[in-house]
């Protein structure tokens, strides 16, 4: 409670501070990719993973390229991959539920492996499990090949969350008809970007999905709904809680890096000290690498290891008399282990999906992420919308639509809006996750609820359970399971009583 109270109390003050910062700080012309959402830190990189899982059957659906236009090219199709696990399904005659995982920015292997919540509870729900791969990721790419699909803005123009949601709607409808499951309730589950899709799917297609579990879904990190420095503010809080001295060392290190880089042969010295695989051409290459290291550690700061604690323990435990950068290097080695060299281009995520995520954040998912001079442990890097739009235009030839997400899916006055027309959505978060700053952290109604843990990290609740899980994580999952069971029970009761009767018209 202390963390969330602190964050909410600071929001208004930070907005004013950031406004002042925007007027005074220089803006970088470089477009840096956002910290990727991602349920897992890294992809499994095992193309044989699905084939080795005996309970999972892989299929391809002939999917419509463009759901929203009627041009000749809109009727083109592509093969969309989906996976089914029917081991515990009670069957259509029992109205047993269908749990659908809304695929995110990665291949389906990652989704199936990550969403342990579904396999852990399939027997309890007697559920059919369905996992759908997001278009343009994995093998579900239009135009015959990844190279052609990513060729330019014209082929990438069909790559959006709206099209992905329509994919899921079409495929789920097809599947229910194919297996005669019209009376089987559908509940969508997703994490991170997939969690955003799960929540949006429930809002956009309530006739198809009767509930959604949206884990670590920062649906409020758009427009001016969340302070731009929200992400890095939480990273900073994570480090402060781990160690004040570690936090201070990180703050000091940026200036030390710049000081050395400004000297003759300074970049060569930094290259040697941090064992960069390639010579550093700018100090920002090293600083970007370190920033990503800290952000990824905080985003996935999960028990029992807690990477932030591990990193700070190494920084604080460096030999007495070690300089600032020696202590920082000790943290790098602790997290990435001892190596011959460190790739400063490594951002802690599977690079095979980086281009897709860059396109999405340069088109509709423009998250206004930045920070001022003294509000985080990082150097100032304020978000400037005009500069960001120009950098995206330079990269792709199109401008982002920064206000489209809130226009399409909402977000402003979310409590007043959703409590009037929406039901059955669980927004789950862990407050150690920097993206929780853009999540729904308060209940909106009796059936649109926020379930969070102060020690949780990114998507931790939908990962597979373990005997080592702390009690608070087990309780979070149990709360979510009981709510979903309540939705299913209510749905089945309505089927029995025929509650869908229409009311008689009013006589005037």
**Pick the catalytic residue: 238, 375, 433, 461?**
433
Distance (Å, rounded) from C-alpha 283 to C-alpha 268? 10
Phi, psi of 99 (to 5 degrees): -95, 120
> Please, are residues 363 and 307 in contact by the beta-carbon 8 Å criterion?
no
Q: What is the largest distance, in Å, between two alpha-carbon atoms of the chain?
A: 88
| Number of Cβ atoms within 10 Å of the Cβ of 261 | 18
Distance (Å, rounded) from C-alpha 259 to C-alpha 455? 36
Distance (Å, rounded) from C-alpha 55 to C-alpha 408? 37
Helix axes 230-242, 244-261, angle to 10 degrees: 120
Helix (H) or strand (E) holding 455: none
What 3-state DSSP class applies to 306?
coil
| Number of Cβ atoms within 10 Å of the Cβ of 466 | 12
Distance (Å, rounded) from C-alpha 178 to C-alpha 209? 17
Distance (Å, rounded) from C-alpha 417 to C-alpha 440? 14
| 243: nearest Cα among 319, 294, 311 | 311
Q: What is the CA radius of gyration of the chain?
A: 24
Is 192 a residue of the active site?
Answer: yes
Q: Which segments of 331-406 are extended strands (E)?
A: none
User: Exposed (0-12), middle (13-18) or buried (19+): which is 496, by Cβ within 10 Å?
Assistant: exposed
3-state secondary structure 359-378: HHHCCCCCCCCCECCCCCCC
> Please, are residues 425 and 214 in contact by the beta-carbon 8 Å criterion?
yes
Is 86 a residue of the active site?
Answer: no
Do you know the residue count of the chain? 508
**Pick the catalytic residue: 437, 458, 461, 469?**
458
**Pick the catalytic residue: 95, 161, 192, 428?**
192
* Region class of 173: left (phi > 0), else alpha (psi between -120 and 50), else beta: alpha
Please give the order of strands across the beta sheet that includes 425-430: 57-64, 77-85, 128-132, 98-102, 186-191, 211-215, 425-430, 448-453
User: Exposed (0-12), middle (13-18) or buried (19+): which is 262, by Cβ within 10 Å?
Assistant: exposed
Active site residue ranges: 192, 433, 458
């Amino acid at each position: 409670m202390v963390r969330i109270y602190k964050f909410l109390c600071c929001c208004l003050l930070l907005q004013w501070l950031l406004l002042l910062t925007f007027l005074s700080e220089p803006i970088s012309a470089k477009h840096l990719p956002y910290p990727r959402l991602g349920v897992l830190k890294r992809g499994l990189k095992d193309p044989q993973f699905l084939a080795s899982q005996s309970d999972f059957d892989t299929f391809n659906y002939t999917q419509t390229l463009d759901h929203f236009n009627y041009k000749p090219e809109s009727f083109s199709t592509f093969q969309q991959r989906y996976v089914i696990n029917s081991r515990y399904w009670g069957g259509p005659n029992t109205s047993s539920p269908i749990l659908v995982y809304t695929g995110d920015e990665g291949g389906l292997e990652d989704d199936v492996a990550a969403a342990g919540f579904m396999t852990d509870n399939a027997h309890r729900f007697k559920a059919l499990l369905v996992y759908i791969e997001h278009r343009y990721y994995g093998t579900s790419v239009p135009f015959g090949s990844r190279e052609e699909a990513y060729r330019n803005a014209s082929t990438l123009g069909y790559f959006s969350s709206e099209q992905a949601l329509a994919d899921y709607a079409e495929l789920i409808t097809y599947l229910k008809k194919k297996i005669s499951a019209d009376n089987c309730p559908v509940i969508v589950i997703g994490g991170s970007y997939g969690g955003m899709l799960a929540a949006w799917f429930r809002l956009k297609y309530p006739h198809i999905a009767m509930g959604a579990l949206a884990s670590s879904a920062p649906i409020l990190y758009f427009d001016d709904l969340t302070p731009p420095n929200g992400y890095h503010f939480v990273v900073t809080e994570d480090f402060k809680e781990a160690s004040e001295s570690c936090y201070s060392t990180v703050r000091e290190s940026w200036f030390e890096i710049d000081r050395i880089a400004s000297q003759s042969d300074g970049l060569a010295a930094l290259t040697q000290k941090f064992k960069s695989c390639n010579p550093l051409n700018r100090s920002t290459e090293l600083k970007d690498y370190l920033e990503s290291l800290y952000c990824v550690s905080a985003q996935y700061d999960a028990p029992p290891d807690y990477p932030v604690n591990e990193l700070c323990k190494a920084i604080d435990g460096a030999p007495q008399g070690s300089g600032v950068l020696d202590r920082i290097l000790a943290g790098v080695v602790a997290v990435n282990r001892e190596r011959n060299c460190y790739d400063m281009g490594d951002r802690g995520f599977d690079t095979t999906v980086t281009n897709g995520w860059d396109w999405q954040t340069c088109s509709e998912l423009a998250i206004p992420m930045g920070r001022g001079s003294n509000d985080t442990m990082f150097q100032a890097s304020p978000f400037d919308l005009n500069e960001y739009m120009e950098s995206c235009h330079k990269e792709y030839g199109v401008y982002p639509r920064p206000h489209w997400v809130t226009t399409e899916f909402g977000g402003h006055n979310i409590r007043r809006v959703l409590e009037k027309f929406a039901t059955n959505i669980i927004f789950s978060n862990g407050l150690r996750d920097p993206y929780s700053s853009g999540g729904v952290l308060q209940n909106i109604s009796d059936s649109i609820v926020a379930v969070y843990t102060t020690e949780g990290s990114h998507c931790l609740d939908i990962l597979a359970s373990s005997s080592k899980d702390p009690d608070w994580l087990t309780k979070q999952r149990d709360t979510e399971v009981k709510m979903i069971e309540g939705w299913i029970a209510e749905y089945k009761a309505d089927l029995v009583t025929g509650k869908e009767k229409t009311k008689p018209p009013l006589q005037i």
